[in-house]
Amino acid sequence: MKKSPWSIILFLIVVFGSVLIFFVSSEVSSWRNSGISRLTNKKVVLHLEINGIIMDGKKFLEPLKKYRQEDHIKAIVIEMNSPGGVVGPSQEIYEEIKRSREEFKKPIVVVSTSLMASGAYYAAVAADKIVVAPGTLVGSIGVIMEFMNLEKLYDWAKVSRFSVSTGKYKDSGADYRSMRDDERQLFQDLVDDVYKQFVETVAEGRKLKVEEVTPWADGRVFTGRQAKELGFADQIGMVEDAHRLAASIAGLGEDYEVIKPPKEKSSLWDFMTGTGEEDGTVLWGSKEAALTESLRKLLRAELMHRPLYLMPGAF
């Protein structure tokens, strides 16, 4: 059967388009992997951000670890808008900021013009300097751990729940029964230890004595101006002030450029197959999955049963 000229032309267009997409995607991938050095010939102040509740540090840590190795990067500014989050990721971010300063010799300035509390502040004290707007909410040095008792709900729903465990503390914090006094003390000891780590870290990072930090480490929040007066911040200013301060520490003068790393986008294949995510939102999914996710967020299940460096009221 003889093919029409239009079908041949259409076939060639599809083939040519596929090849073009492949090469363009490869070039974009190559450009992303090559780092920031291809974007400018100037010395660079890298601008990174930490936003929202810190559940996982990967989104921030990946570009930090990648770009701190580049010679073009002379200093780093981290802009924070966060009420804190889970203890482990907050501590991991702190350690990597500290490592970037000490091992990679990159001056780091943290700046916040809105909110830098609890776990976010824990991470911030690893920086060389902290810059805050006068009205920024800062601090909330403390630890919280939340549990849920759904006994009455299960009774109403005529649902009986129980567990088989290997020790008396294995089901501690379970939502189907009340917490015993010894269990409550167990969790209190855990929270107290994590709190001690927080206070010691702030004292070390801010070059204060533990006795100077402790009176203010009761979960209270300061304004940026109060934080500076108490020694919990270095300078009142905005984001551009932080850029200039970082450049000054690095000895760059005025000959520098502020650059943000290019954002990673979901690929066409991810979009077509429904496996991509953007800002934590699933592109495709069943109604049941959406309902489960909504219920999980409503009950704040992802924040239950774990010690948190998180400002009260933020969850």
Active site positions, annotated: 118, 170
- Cα 47 to Cα 296: distance, rounded to the nearest angstrom: 33
173-194 burial by CB neighbour count: b if 16+ within 10 A, else e? bbbbbeeeeebeeebeeebeeb
Whether the Cβ atoms of residue 169 and residue 186 lie closer than 8 Å to each other: yes
| The length of the chain, given as a count of residues | 315
Instruction: Please report which helix (H) or strand (E) contains residue 240, including its range.
Output: helix 239-249
